[in-house]
């Protein structure tokens, strides 16, 4: 395999991505390139369009302008979305973790993880189950295979949700505020799983308010405001010498809150 070429190829490539909700232009021409194994953390004030941007990358939101290429698929081509069957293929390659976990409450933990691989990747029961158990062990929840999601803590739910997304063997993982719905003492266990994933070379795009995590794990921090990328760069640069006044005031507000905690 010619690794140099693979490394130079962008696994995610976004050009002039735009979207409106009614009169509100939530995304106003986003550009972004992500290389394989890169960890991108997107930060910014609420309402800046971070989540919408992330949801455009797996078609949960319909982009209206621009182009999105992801994992070799032309998801959006000049404002036109790929067709439905194409969209389903894209989503197999792009895992997503939600703020509210969204585990399937009628299935136990094991079957939450097995459902998609069984139905879509046509894995046999044995294959799917051994994969699911391995993923559960990876997120530290091997002993919870047979319980229902309702009995888990928030942190455990989110770790199962990560395992569920990984079960489709995605090339890119999207995290939409994965720790925002958690009690403070449960945030660490989820971040730790994400950090492991990053160190294993998973390509990740993460919307989060966890600034320490961004500093430690991100390759690039992207700051969004009013539907635009106002600044992007390595965490050291963004956190210690931000160029934009808006970045400074946002970081000031967030970091002062963290120092109080």
Partner 1 sequence: MTLDFSPAWAGWQDLATGAATTVEVTACSLVLGCVLGLLVGIGRLAPQRRITFGICTAYLTFIRGTPLLVQLFILFFGLPQFGIILPAFACGVLGLGVYSGAYVSEIVRGSIQSVDRGQMEAARSLGMPYRMAMRKVILPQAFVRMIPPLGNEFIALIKNSALVSLLTIDDLMHEGEKIISVSYRSLEVYIVIAFIYLILTSATSLVLRRTEKALRADGRV
Closest CA to 177 of 63, 77, 41, 83: 41
Residue 165 within binding range of partner 1, rule CB under 8 A: yes
Q: How far is the CB of 95 from partner 1 (least distance, A)?
A: 8
Q: How far is the CB of 108 from partner 1 (least distance, A)?
A: 9
| Residue among 30 and 160 whose Cβ is closer to partner 1 | 160
CA distances in angstroms from 159 to 122, 187, 217, listed in the order given: 24, 11, 18
Residue 181 within binding range of partner 1, rule CB under 8 A: no
Cβ atoms of residues 17 and 66 within 8 Å: yes
Q: How far is the CB of 160 from partner 1 (least distance, A)?
A: 12
Size, binding site for partner 1 by CB under 8 A: 29
Residue 116 within binding range of partner 1, rule CB under 8 A: yes
> Among 25, 133, 148, 226, which residue interacts with partner 1 (rule: CB under 8 A)?
148
Degrees to nearest 5, angle at CA 217 with 167 and 130: 20
Cβ atoms of residues 109 and 136 within 8 Å: yes
Give the single-character DSSP code of 1.
Answer: -
Closest CA to 58 of 30, 90, 83: 90
Q: How does 9-39 read in b/e, with b if 16+ C-beta sit within 10 Å?
A: eebbbbbbbbbeeeeebbbbebebebbbebb
Q: How far is the CB of 58 from partner 1 (least distance, A)?
A: 6
> With CB under 8 A as the contact rule, which of the stretches 23-31, 159-167, 178-186, 218-226 interacts with partner 1?
159-167
The site string for partner 1 over 92-111 (x = CB under 8 A, - otherwise) reads x-xxx-x-x-xxxxx-----
Residue 19 within binding range of partner 1, rule CB under 8 A: no
Q: What SS3 state is found at 75?
A: strand
Residue 168 within binding range of partner 1, rule CB under 8 A: yes
> With CB under 8 A as the contact rule, which of the stretches 87-95, 124-132, 185-193, 221-229 interacts with partner 1?
87-95
Strand order in the sheet with 220-225: 94-97, 172-176, 203-207, 39-43, 220-225, 228-233
Strand-pair partners of 204:
39, 173
Residue 91 within binding range of partner 1, rule CB under 8 A: yes
Name the site residues for partner 1 (rule: CB under 8 A). Answer: 58, 60, 84-85, 88-89, 91-92, 94-96, 98, 100, 102-106, 115-116, 119-120, 148, 150-151, 161, 164-165, 168
């Amino acid at each position: 395999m010619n690794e140099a070429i693979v490394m130079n190829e962008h696994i995610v490539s976004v050009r002039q991505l735009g979207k409106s909700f009614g009169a509100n232009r939530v995304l106003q021409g986003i550009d972004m390139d992500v290389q394989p194994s890169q960890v991108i953390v997107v930060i910014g004030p609420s309402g800046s369009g971070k989540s919408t941007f992330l949801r455009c990358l797996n078609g949960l939101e319909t982009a209206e302008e621009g182009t999105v290429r992801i994992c070799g698929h032309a998801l959006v081509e000049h404002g036109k979305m790929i067709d439905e069957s194409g969209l389903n293929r894209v989503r197999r390659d792009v895992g997503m973790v939600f703020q509210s976990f969204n585990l399937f409450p009628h299935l136990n933990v094991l079957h939450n993880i097995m459902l998609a691989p069984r139905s879509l990747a046509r894995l046999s029961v044995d294959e799917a189950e051994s994969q699911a158990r391995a993923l559960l062990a990876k997120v530290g929840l091997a002993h919870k295979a047979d319980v229902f999601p309702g009995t888990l803590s928030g942190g455990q739910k989110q770790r199962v949700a990560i395992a569920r997304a990984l079960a489709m063997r995605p090339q890119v993982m999207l995290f939409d505020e994965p720790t925002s719905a958690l009690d403070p003492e449960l945030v660490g266990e989820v971040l730790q799983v994400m950090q492991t994933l990053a160190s294993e070379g998973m390509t990740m795009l993460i919307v989060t308010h966890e600034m320490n995590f961004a500093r430690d794990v991100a390759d690039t921090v992207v700051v969004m405001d009013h539907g635009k990328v106002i600044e992007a760069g390595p965490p050291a640069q963004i956190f210690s010498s931000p160029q934009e006044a808006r970045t400074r005031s946002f970081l000031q507000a967030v970091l002062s809150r963290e120092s109080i905690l």
